Structure 1
Amino acid sequence: MASLTQIEMPRGRMAEWLSKPLRANRGIYTKVALAAAMINLFALITALFTMTVYDRVVPNNAMDSLVGLSIGLVIILMFDFALKILRAYFVDVAGARVDRDIGKAIFERILQMRMDIGKRSTGGLSGLVREIDTLRDFFASATITALVDLPFIIITLTVIALIGGWLVLVPLAMIPIVVIAALATQPLMRRLSAETLSGQLGKQSVLVETIGNIETVKSANAGSILSRRWDTAVTDHAGASLRQRLVSTIPINIAGTAQTTAYTGVVIFGVFAIANHSLTMGGLIACSILAGRVVAPLGTIAHLLTRANSARTAYTQINKLMENPVEGPEGSEGLTLSKMEGSIEFKNVDFRYPGAAEFALKDVSFKIRPGEKVGLVGQIGSGKSTIARLIIGLYWPTSGLILIDGIDIRQLSPAALRPKVGALFQDNALLTGTIRDNILLCRDEIDDDEMIRASQVSLAHEFVARIPQGYDLELADRGEGLSGGQKQSIALARALIGQPPIIILDEPTSAVDVETERRLMANLDAEFKDRTLILITHRPSLLRLVDRIVMLSSGKVVADGSPEQVSARISKLRTVQGAKKDERAA
C-alpha cells in the first residue's frame, strides 16, 4: 500500500514527458482558446440584444427592428453552437493525443526501469498508471476554457459599468469572496488529494494481487486475510475521498451562491437606479444577466483548483517513476554486439536484492568458455537463479564485474543483449494472445520454419499440431487452460527460437514426467551444440547435458569442476559431515 510519506508536492519545472505532448498540441489549444473567446463575446452580445429590445423595440413598437435584431441573434447563436461543438471536438482531440503520448512514455519507462530501483507492487504500479487519466482530464478539458474566461471578467465588468454605473460594485464585491474561499481550502485539498491517491493505490494493490493469484487464494484459504486488507484499504480510501469531496464543495457552493447574489443584488439595487432615472429597464436586465456571468468563471476556477490538486499529486507520483534510472548504461544507448561468442565471466561478484538484509551472492568468481555447458547446483537459496538473473541484466552486481565476451555487462544495451540470451525460468508465464505470439514475441525476422523447429525441440509441436487452431490458438491470461508441462514447453520454445548463442535453463523439466524428460534431453543435447549452456537443476539426470558443474552454497562457490570431480567432492563432504555427526553422537 502506498505510504503518505511517498506523496510529495512537485517542485521545479514541468517534466519533459508531460510538457512535450502539451507543446506538440499547442496549435489545437490555441484554436480552443479562440473559440472560447468568441463564445464569451457572443454572450455579451446576447445581453446587449436583450437591453436593446426592452429599451428601443418595446417602447417604440419597432417590429422591423425586432426582425432585424432577431435575424442577427439567430446567426450569432448558430455560430455559438458551431464554436461550442468545435471547441469540444478540439479538446477531445488534444486529450486523446496527450493521453496517447504520455501513456506511451510511461509504459516504455516501466519496461525499461531497473528492477532494483522503484520496485513497487503490481497493483500499486497499475493504479499509478491509471492516474494518467487525471492528468489528461485536467489538461484537456475545461482548463483552457476557464483560463480564457478570466480576462472576460474584466471586460464584462467594464460593460456593466458602462451600462449601469455604480451597479458594477455588486458583482465586483463577490469576486474576492469567491477567490478567498477557493484559496483558503487549497492546503487542505493538497493533503486530502495525497490521502485519496494513497488509498486508491492501496485498493488497487490488494485487488490485483487477489485476482492474479485467485487459485492460490482459494486453495490456501487466504480469502480472510485479503478480505481484511481490502476492507482496510476501502475504508481508508472512502474516508479520504469523502473528506476531499466535502472540502471541494465549499468553494464551489460559495461561488454558486455568489453568482445568485450578484444577479439578485443587481436587480434589487437596479430598482433604485431606475427610480433615479440613471438606468433603463433594458439596462437593468442586461446588467443582471452580465452580473451572473462575472462570477460564473470564478466558480469554474474554484472547481479547477480542486482538480488541480489531484493532478499535481498524480503528476508527482508519475514523475517519480519517470525519474528512476533505466536499464543499461547511463547517458548512452550502450554497446550492441552484432555477433556474440558466448563467454561469461564473474569476477568477485557480490549481490544483494533491494531491501534484503543479507547478500545473495558473496565473492563469486568463475569463467565459462564459449560453447561450454555448465550446470549450477546447490540447495534452495544458494544463489543459482540469482546468477541467471544477473547474466541477462535484470540486476546489476552490488560489486565486482560480470563480463560477456570480455565486456562489462553494464556497458551492453539490454535490448541487444537479451535476444542473444535465451532464458527459461521456473515461472513459465505466458501472455494473453496466440501460441505464435508467445513464441515469436513480435520478432518479425523469425519465420514459421524456425518457430516449428524450436517447438519440435521443446516438444510443444506435438500437442500444438493436434489443435485445430494450431499456433493461432488464443490463450487466456497467463495461459490458463494449459497444463504445467504444456506451458513449460511453449516457454522453452520461446527461449530456443532464433538459436541464441547463450541458453539459460532453470529446471526445464520440472513440469514433465520421466519419459518426456528423457525425450526432451535427447533433443536438447543436439540443440546445444556449439552454444553456451547454463543449466540450473536439482535433478541428477539432467546433469548429463553438461560437462562442468559449479556448486553453490549460501551464495558462495564451493565446488567447480567436471561432474565426476564435483561428485567426488560432494561424497567427501558428506563423509566428513557424517564422521563429525558420529563424533557428536558418541
Structure 2
Amino acid sequence: MNEFWRRLALHPRLRMELFLSSLLINLLGLAGSLYSIQVLNRYLALGIDSTLLTLTVGALIAVVFELALRSARLRIAQWLCARADAALGEAVFDSSVRGQYALLEQLPVAARREILSGLATTQQSFGASNLITLLDAPFALVFLLVLALLNPILALTAILVMGGVVLVSLLAQRRLREPMEAQSRSAIQLAGHQQTLTSGTELVRAFQAAGALRERWNQCTTELTGLRATLGSLQNTIQNASYAGGVLLGMLMMAMGAREVLAGQLDVGSLIGANILAGRALAALTRALGLGEAIGRGQRALELIRQLNAIPQERSDGMTLGQYGGSLRFEDAAFAYPKQPTPIFEHFDFALPASGVLAVIGANGTGKTTLARLLVGLLEPTRGRLLADNMDLRQADPGWWRRQVAYLPQEPLFFDGTLRENLTVMAPDTPDDEVLALCRELGVGPFVEGSADGLSLVLRNGGNSIPLGIRRRLALARALLGKGRVVVLDDPTEGVDADGCKAIAGVLNRLVKSGHSLVVMSNEAFIISAAQAVIDLNQKPQPRIVHAPAAPAVAAGGNTHD
C-alpha cells in the first residue's frame, strides 16, 4: 500500500485531480439507484411518459459524464504510474551498473535475475488499474451514506455484512505473506536449476549429473506446487468471502427491506434503490480486497528491488589527470573478501614504471583475477593505496580511470548486439577498417570476415556460441580498441591454440614497443620470461617479487590449448 501512496505523492496536483475525479465518478454512480427509485415511485404512480423520458435522459447524461471522467482519470493514473515505473527501472539499472562491485557479486546470479524480473511484477501490481480500484474503495462510504438516508436499518445491515467480508479477507491476506516469501525463495532456487538445464547440457550429459539434479529439481517443484496450493486456497477463501458476502447482503437487504416496506418505513422503489446502493458499496470494497495477493507479490518484488538499490554506488565523479603516464604503485596494500579467513595479500609494496611489463603468477584461486579487478577499479584495497601516477585510485573518477585501462577479463562476455557494437563499445566511432585490421592481427580475421554478416554478426547469450579461443581474442580486440594506456590481461592465452598464442604475442610486443604498461596474469613461460617483474601470489600473505629483467620482449608462445 505504501507504494501507492508514494506514487501519488510524486505529483500533488495530479493526486488531487485523481481524488476529485474519483469523488465525482462515485457521485455520478448514484444515478442508477436514483433512477430506479424515481421510475418506480413517480412513473408507475403517475404513468406520465414525459416523466420517464426526462428521468431516462438525465440518467444517460450522468452515465456519459461518468464514462468521460473514468477515461480521463485512467489517463492521469497511467501517466503517473508510467513516470514512477520509469524512475524505478532507472534506479534498478543504476544499481546494477554502478553498485559497488564487491557487494553486487555477493548476490547470487539467480537472486539478481529474480530482482530484475520483479520490475515487471511491481509495475503490474502497482499499475494504474489497481491504483484506481483502491481510490474507489473509500467512496463505498458515499453509497452507504445515501443508503443510511434512505433507511438506517438497511445501512447497518450492509455495514455488518461488509465488515464480515473485510475481516475474513484480511485474515486470509495476513496468512498469504509467509507462503509468498517461501515461494519467492523456491523460485530463485529453481531458476538456478533451470540455468543448469539450459546452459549446462554438457555437464548434465557428460558427467551423469541428471540424478543429482533431478532430486533437487523435484524438491523445488514439489515445494512450489505445495506453496501454490496454499496460496490458491487462501485466494479462494478471499473470493468465497466476497461471493458469500454478496449473496448474503442481497438476501438480507430484501428480507429486512420487505419488513420495512410492510411497516411503512420504506417504499418499493427505495427498496430496489437501496439494494443497488448496497451492491455498489460491497463491489467497490471487494474489488480492493481482491488486490491483496497482487499487492503482496508486488510488495515482495519491491523489497528485493530495495535490497539491490540499498547497495552503495561507486562514485560517478572524482579526480582525473590531464595526461596519464602509465605508472602504477601499491603502497602497503591489502585485500580480503568479507568473511574470508586468509587475505589475498597484505603489506604489498610494488611500483610498475610507465611502459613497464609485469607478470602475475599463481595457482588457481590465489588472487590473480582479484588483482586484475583491483587494477581496473572494480575492487578497492581493504588497506593501503593503489596509485596511478601518484594519484590514489580511490579519489579517481571511475569512468575516467577505466578509459585508461585496456582490460581482458578471465571470462570474456559480450552483450546482446552486433559484433561491431561489442568490439567498439569503448570507442563507438572506430572505423570498420581499424576494427578488422586488429582482428586480423589477432588471428580472428577469418572468423569475422568469413561470416556472412561480418561485423554485423548478432551475438546472443554472452557470445558463448563462439569458441573460447576466438572469443578471448575478440575480447582482447575490444579492450585494445579502447586505447587504454595500461593493458591488464587476465589469462589471455587460456583456451587459445598455438597460432592464436603467436598472434597474441605479436600484439603484446607491439604494445611494449609503443610504450604501453602491461600487467598480465598468466603462468605461461613465454609471458613470464618477457616481464620486467614477476609477482608470485602463491606466497601468502605477502606476495613475492621474483625477478626484474631489464629489456622486455614477448616471445611467441608455443601453447596448444584446446
Indicate whether the TM-score tops 0.5.
yes
8 Å Cα contact 1:123/1:206 also seen in 2: no
**Whole-angstrom distance in 1 between the partners of 2:11 and 2:499:** 62
Of all paired residues, the percent bearing the same amino acid is 24
- Offset at 1:70? 1.8
8 Å Cα contact 2:359/2:522 also seen in 1: yes
1:527-577 CA-to-partner distances (Å, cap 9, x unmatched) read: 3321110112222123454333223324442333224999xxxxxxxxxxx
Deviating more after overlay: 383-392 vs 92-101: 92-101
1:539-578 equivalence runs, <5 A: 539-543=524-528, 545-555=530-540, 556-563=542-549
8 Å Cα contact 2:173/2:234 also seen in 1: no
Deviating more after overlay: 536-545 vs 432-441: 536-545
1:399-447 CA-to-partner distances (Å, cap 9, x unmatched) read: 2222222222222232222121111122122222111111112643544
- Distance verdict in 2 for CA 1:354–1:437, change over 3 Å: farther
1:360 is matched by which residue type in structure 2?
I
Of residues 490, 506, 523 in structure 1, which corresponds to 2:474?
Answer: 490
1:467-505 CA-to-partner distances (Å, cap 9, x unmatched) read: 332211112322244222221221010110132100011
- Offset at 1:127? 0.8
8 Å Cα contact 1:374/1:547 also seen in 2: yes
- Offset at 1:303? 2.2
Deviating more after overlay: 29-38 vs 432-441: 29-38
Deviating more after overlay: 226-235 vs 555-564: 555-564
8 Å Cα contact 1:260/1:292 also seen in 2: no
Deviating more after overlay: 315-324 vs 31-40: 31-40
Indicate the residue corresponding to 2:272 in structure 1. 285
1:328-407 equivalence runs, <5 A: 328=315, 333-407=317-391
- Distance verdict in 2 for CA 1:272–1:381, change over 3 Å: closer
- Offset at 1:246? 1.9
1:68-217 equivalence runs, <5 A: 68-118=54-104, 119-217=106-204
Of residues 474, 493, 504 in structure 2, which corresponds to 1:520?
Answer: 504
Indicate the residue corresponding to 2:518 in structure 1. 533
- Distance verdict in 2 for CA 1:74–1:309, change over 3 Å: same
Partner of 1:320, secondary structure, is helix
Of residues 196, 202, 226 in structure 2, which corresponds to 1:239?
Answer: 226
- Offset at 1:272? 1.7
Q: Unaligned stretches of 5+ in structure 1?
A: 1-9, 567-586
Indicate the residue corresponding to 2:558 in structure 1. none
8 Å Cα contact 2:329/2:388 also seen in 1: yes
Q: Unaligned stretches of 5+ in structure 2?
A: 553-562
1:315 lines up with 2:299 in the alignment: no
**Whole-angstrom distance in 2 between the partners of 1:224 and 1:565:** 56
- Offset at 1:165? 4.2
Partner of 1:402, secondary structure, is strand
- Offset at 1:126? 0.8
1:433 is matched by which residue type in structure 2?
G
- Distance verdict in 2 for CA 1:123–1:409, change over 3 Å: same
2:141 is matched by which residue type in structure 1?
I
**Whole-angstrom distance in 2 between the partners of 1:307 and 1:348:** 54
Indicate the residue corresponding to 1:465 in structure 2. 449
1:65 is matched by which residue type in structure 2?
T
**Whole-angstrom distance in 2 between the partners of 1:513 and 1:252:** 65
**Whole-angstrom distance in 2 between the partners of 1:239 and 1:83:** 44
Of residues 26, 40, 43 in structure 1, which corresponds to 2:29?
Answer: 43
**Whole-angstrom distance in 2 between the partners of 1:338 and 1:230:** 56
8 Å Cα contact 2:442/2:500 also seen in 1: no
8 Å Cα contact 2:25/2:66 also seen in 1: yes
**Whole-angstrom distance in 1 between the partners of 2:321 and 2:232:** 56
1:504 is matched by which residue type in structure 2?
V
8 Å Cα contact 2:408/2:476 also seen in 1: yes
Give the TM-score normalised by the residue count of structure 2.
Answer: 0.89
- Distance verdict in 2 for CA 1:319–1:79, change over 3 Å: same
8 Å Cα contact 1:22/1:98 also seen in 2: no
- Offset at 1:240? 2.4
1:115-149 CA-to-partner distances (Å, cap 9, x unmatched) read: 32251221121112222233323332444334433
- Offset at 1:59? 2.3
- Distance verdict in 2 for CA 1:91–1:202, change over 3 Å: farther
Of residues 391, 409, 425 in structure 1, which corresponds to 2:409?
Answer: 425
8 Å Cα contact 1:424/1:505 also seen in 2: yes
- Distance verdict in 2 for CA 1:34–1:456, change over 3 Å: farther
**Whole-angstrom distance in 2 between the partners of 1:292 and 1:65:** 27
- Offset at 1:453? 4.5
8 Å Cα contact 2:417/2:460 also seen in 1: yes
**Whole-angstrom distance in 2 between the partners of 1:497 and 1:240:** 52
Q: CA RMSD in A?
A: 2.8
Indicate the residue corresponding to 2:555 in structure 1. none
- Offset at 1:338? 4.2
Partner of 2:30, secondary structure, is helix
- Offset at 1:105? 1.0
8 Å Cα contact 1:430/1:487 also seen in 2: no
Deviating more after overlay: 334-343 vs 440-449: 440-449
- Distance verdict in 2 for CA 1:162–1:552, change over 3 Å: closer
Give the TM-score normalised by the residue count of structure 1.
Answer: 0.86
**Whole-angstrom distance in 1 between the partners of 2:39 and 2:344:** 86
Partner of 2:509, secondary structure, is helix
1:442-457 equivalence runs, <5 A: 443-457=427-441
Indicate the residue corresponding to 2:560 in structure 1. none
8 Å Cα contact 1:432/1:474 also seen in 2: yes
- Distance verdict in 2 for CA 1:41–1:443, change over 3 Å: farther
- Distance verdict in 2 for CA 1:260–1:43, change over 3 Å: farther
